[in-house]
Chain A
């Protein structure tokens, strides 16, 4: 669904260059891109740059890094697109690649520290007693969405990364676990805690 949305509102194409690619279906564009067709790669860029940039922006929490990483993703795409095997939809694959790139960037950024994503008390999923549930509400306004984004941006990195991979990239727990090199149970615990922390930081949104 996200892919569709993005295909609809990609940035304006550069003059003339990508005009004839515009109408092509994704499969043919990808096919052309695999043949190292510059215009096809440009078209993929045009369609998905916002989506990828959004992911990088959320994951890295810095516009500069996000811009750099987005560039890297698309520059590397020239080679990496050969490894796309159509087993999953292309946008999903691209976001996975971008996610990996972001994680690399995060690891580079804090080489000194240990792995970027760690659950503090070495927690596996422990059955938390069903406390009073206080999730965020259903329909929220534009301002409130911005508030939620701000709160996510301020979460500790491990929480932020997990939430973004799950609810922006829409990866499964298994995929996230694979990307972050963690146990699936850890990922589940991480996301659960991240949401709890988010609720705590957005008290007026709780029911």
Chain B
């Protein structure tokens, strides 16, 4: 009789052969040594496989953190980091004892006097040191970050070689990335001056009432203060959060500014980006690239090599030269006789008479002037299309969220029901997070962290309506089950209601704000709950 194939034997050994065929094989085995040896070997192999797999590898034998009681990612790490933060603040206080004790007195939570004096110190510092306190604070936080980095690394190394906490790892990478900022030169005081014969070889962070650069800064210049004057040269970028920024010297990089006014009388290598109340490019001013700004009003008398894009609530006056296009959205536009635009002019204004183009003005390309007529958005089909896309987008995001984090989404939806508590918490989060972000960001070291928080904050604001919508829908529909499709249906209904409510004049705005606060509060509450041990039941 012909022998059986290895595959048939394997099936038989796995007990997967049909009964009659299995019987035939067994009969065959009584006579065929070769096949019997094969079956025996296959059986032994199965046993070996089974034994090998059932003897769980060392690490699998102790799923230490896989219990339902485990805290959600990295929370225990955060607790450790918070402890390290406290420790760090004390140690850095000790470090800086001789240097800036007053700044740390109030910062040290273990000092009773520090705590009671906190408010007074704060006022004192703002009154006498002004922004100097921020720089002190930045220095302290810098130290803390360094300590955190060291502590976190030690923590990771201590964990039997293989770290498995993505949050912690990310934090350490970010901290490590921000380490170079220790090389920053920080200056603060009433006046910070880089004198004409002085050269700062690195990035300069200056916080003062008055920052004046007569010399050379080889890196970037980052300033906080009332007035910033660059008469010398900044080889990198100028990042200014000053009330008034005046550049009569040279900035070789870009200018990023959030200031009340920016005056450029000197040379700028690249572009201007930012939001300012008044932008003035003097006739001596030269911009190597373009300008992208949101301004109250802009006066361009000098030369811009490339395009200018301006969104303004007021007017744009051009009497200088623009190498390429001028694009503006705003109230009025004036081009004088000396104005030259190399490319196209496109302007969107409210009324045609607000555009004044002198006869002497030259425009190389096309003129495209549109009058924005304010009409009810409800009469435009595009409005409905946009709303439909937004709505579909929100549903899609809700669905994705439910797919990826079902537990979290359902729990957050549930938490919306705690009403006033969520609302109150939401208002707090909505107002508090930006402040916290600014405090983190001013240290520069904490900048990436602040960006992460910002991303989370914006995402949560967007998701707020989804959670609230899902809750509203569920309250109205009262589905029998709690499946994903019930949740989604609830979301669909709830979101539709919220969207429609949002269109009501005045009240709509309040509804949207309320939804954001409620959703944010539920989110924050759920985050907090997730940080506590989950009960098994």
Residues on A close to B: CB < 8 A? 2, 5, 11, 14, 36-39, 41-42, 45, 49-50, 53-54, 57-58, 63-64, 66-68, 70-71, 74-75, 78, 108, 125, 127-131, 133, 135-140, 142, 144-146, 148-149, 152, 163-164, 166-168, 170, 172-173, 188, 191-192, 195, 198, 207
Q: Are A188 and B16 interface neighbours, CB within 8 A? A: yes
Q: Are B42 and A135 interface neighbours, CB within 8 A? A: yes
**A-B contact sample (16 more), CB < 8 A, given A63-B59, A133-B41:** A53-B63, A57-B59, A75-B68, A75-B407, A108-B404, A125-B7, A127-B7, A129-B5, A133-B6, A138-B44, A138-B48, A144-B52, A148-B48, A149-B55, A152-B49, A192-B7
CA distance A40 to B11 in the complex (A): 39
Q: Are B66 and A49 interface neighbours, CB within 8 A? A: yes
Q: Are B57 and A57 interface neighbours, CB within 8 A? A: yes
Q: Are A38 and B537 interface neighbours, CB within 8 A? A: yes
Q: Is B65 an interface residue (CB 8 A)?
A: yes
Q: List B94-125 residues whose CB lies under 8 Å from chain A.
A: none
> Could you say which of B3, B11, B68 has the most chain A C-beta atoms within 10 Å of its C-beta?
B68
Q: Are B38 and A149 interface neighbours, CB within 8 A? A: no
Interface residue range, chain B: 35 or more
CA distance A36 to B44 in the complex (A): 43
Task: List chain A residues, Cβ under 8 A from B46.
Answer: 167
Q: Are A168 and B53 interface neighbours, CB within 8 A? A: yes
- Residue from the list B49, B59, B63, B537 in contact with A37, Cβ < 8 A: B537
Task: List chain B residues, Cβ under 8 A from A195.
Answer: 10, 45, 49
| Whole-angstrom distance between the Cβ of A141 and the nearest chain B Cβ | 11
Q: Provided the pairs A11-B62, A38-B537, A50-B56 are in contact, do residues A131 and B164 lie with their beta carbons within 8 angstroms?
A: no
Q: Are B63 and A128 interface neighbours, CB within 8 A? A: no
Task: List chain B residues, Cβ under 8 A from A58.
Answer: 53, 60
| Whole-angstrom distance between the Cβ of A198 and the nearest chain B Cβ | 8
CA distance A71 to B534 in the complex (A): 11
Q: Which residue of chain A has its CB nearest to the CB of B64?
A: A67
Q: Are A145 and B51 interface neighbours, CB within 8 A? A: yes
Name the prevailing secondary structure of the B interface residues: helix
Q: Are B4 and A130 interface neighbours, CB within 8 A? A: yes
Residues on B close to A: CB < 8 A? 3-8, 10-11, 14-16, 37-38, 41-42, 44-57, 59-63, 65-70, 162, 164, 166, 404, 407, 534-537
Task: List chain A residues, Cβ under 8 A from B42.
Answer: 133, 135
CA distance A78 to B534 in the complex (A): 13
4 A-B pairs with the lowest CB-CB distances in the bound complex, closest first? A38-B537, A138-B44, A135-B45, A53-B63
CA distance A139 to B66 in the complex (A): 33
CA distance A39 to B535 in the complex (A): 10
- Residue from the list A49, A54, A66, A146 in contact with B67, Cβ < 8 A: A49
Q: Which residue of chain B has its CB nearest to the CB of A166?
A: B14
> Could you say which of A14, A64, A130, A172 has the most chain B C-beta atoms within 10 Å of its C-beta?
A130
CA distance A137 to B47 in the complex (A): 9
| Whole-angstrom distance between the Cβ of A22 and the nearest chain B Cβ | 15
Q: Provided the pairs A148-B52, A173-B16 are in contact, do residues A128 and B38 lie with their beta carbons within 8 angstroms?
A: no
Q: Are B537 and A149 interface neighbours, CB within 8 A? A: no
Task: List chain A residues, Cβ under 8 A from B534.
Answer: 75
